[in-house]
Amino acid sequence: MSQIKTGIIGFGNMGKNHVRLVSEINDFNLIGVYDNDPVKTSAAEHYSFKFFSTVNELFSSVEAVIIASPSSTHHKLALEAAKTGLHTLVEKPLGVDSKEAVEICNAFKETQSVLAVGHVERFNPVILEVEKLLEHEEVIAVNIRRFSPRDERINDVDVVQDLLIHDLDIVINCLNRSGIKRLHANGRTAYNEYFVDYAHALIEFNDGVLATLEASRVTEDKVRDIDIHTRNSFIRMDLLHRTVTITRRTNCKLDTGYSPTYRQENIIEKVFIQMVEPLRAELIDFAKCIKTGSKPRVTGEDACYALEIIDKIKQQIYETRS
């Protein structure tokens, strides 16, 4: 199969990252970009690709589209892409709620087109490595913290859909697939009376595993930490710096023949993580699915399930606040 004629909707920070990588990956042929912001499109002469004046014009010129526009636009654009028969990668969240997400999934089931969803942390090499490690571990609990400073560009979703959804997706699709038994969530606003900027959720899975998710966009530091407690080890991950440290219990004792003896209480392992840009890996997976018909790492169904749980978390938070 020749290069995939590809268009990108949205030329903000995320859209520009897609433009950079789609231009570099041989599987793609970047045809052009659409953005409804005239300030962004006014810089069109500085780029080698075309800026389309309408979405329909872009859709009629490509085989695949990447939707990297604001979350509130995903539903309408994805349905149009499905109707046009385009292979589509939608940045997370797939919709503003699970109802929108299900409508999108159903629309793509009527086509032969690929629907992939941009939960980019699933392609983080740290997550890929830990998935393999946990095949041999009995997980007791998972604690995840995702903190960021305020980003005034994001004004159409709360912290639950903006940040916490990343870690919920990781927990329910990578670390525990047993289903959720119960959850409790709360949150607080900081900058906007309508949108929660700090959220905390406690989830109990059917197999007894506990997960604590904490997300903030009022923190003047960027934190992306995951701690996993297992029966035989403690695994600490830093998604920002791409490090994994495993602490294991040991009974090692060295008798030197004289006092004192040396005792090793635990062993600390530093896991080597290959430096792969997650967004590049996500796009390569998207191209592979288009060319081979294989299943995306993050499917529409995955995104629907994550948003179903997100809706329950938001319901608890906002009902408590009202």
pLDDT tens-digit series, residues 54-96: 999 999 999 999 999 999 999 999 999 999 999 999 999 999 9
Residue 44 pLDDT? 60
- What are the pLDDT digits (tens) for 107-160? 999 999 999 999 999 999 999 988 988 988 899 999 999 999 887 777 678 899
Q: Could you write out the DSSP letters of every residue in 83-143?
A: HHT-EEEEESPSSSSHHHHHHHHHHHHTSS--EEEE-GGGG-HHHHHHHHHGGG--EEEEE
Please, which residues bridge with residue 121 across strands?
none
| Whether 269 and 143 share a structural domain | yes
Q: Which two tokens stand for residue 147?
A: 């903190």
Instruction: Judge if 255 and 285 occupy the same domain.
Output: no
Residues 73 and 127 in one domain: no
Could you tell me the pTM of the whole model?
0.88
Here the CATH number for the domain that contains residue 13 is 3.40.50.720
Residues 47 and 130 in one domain: no
- Mean pLDDT score, 94-103: 96
Question: What is residue 6's predicted lDDT score, i.e. its pLDDT?
Answer: 97
Q: What is the pLDDT of residue 37?
A: 79
Give yes or no: residues 24 and 113 share one domain. yes
Range in 18-22, 35-39, 119-123 the model is least confident about: 35-39
User: What is the mean pLDDT of the segment spanning 22-51?
Assistant: 83
> Residues 225-232: what's their mean pLDDT?
94
* Range of the structural domain that residue 150 is part of: 122-276+307-321
Looking at the structure, tell me whether residues 173 and 244 fall in a common domain. yes
- In the chain, the amino acid numbered 318 is Y
| Same domain (yes/no): 80, 23 | yes
Average pLDDT, the chain: 90
Are residues 21 and 40 part of one domain? Answer: yes
Residue partners of 301: CB distance under 8 A and separation at least 6: 105
pLDDT of residue 282: 98
Same-domain check for residues 102 and 139: no
Whole-number pLDDT of residue 259: 57
pLDDT in tens, 240-262: 989 999 998 766 655 555 555 55
| Residue 264 confidence (pLDDT) above 60 | no
* Total domains present in the chain: 2
Q: What pLDDT score was predicted for residue 319?
A: 85
Residues 25 and 155 reside in one and the same domain: no
Strand, helix or coil for residue 166: helix
**Can you say whether residue 293 is alpha, beta or left, with left for phi > 0 and alpha for psi between -120 and 50 degrees?**
left
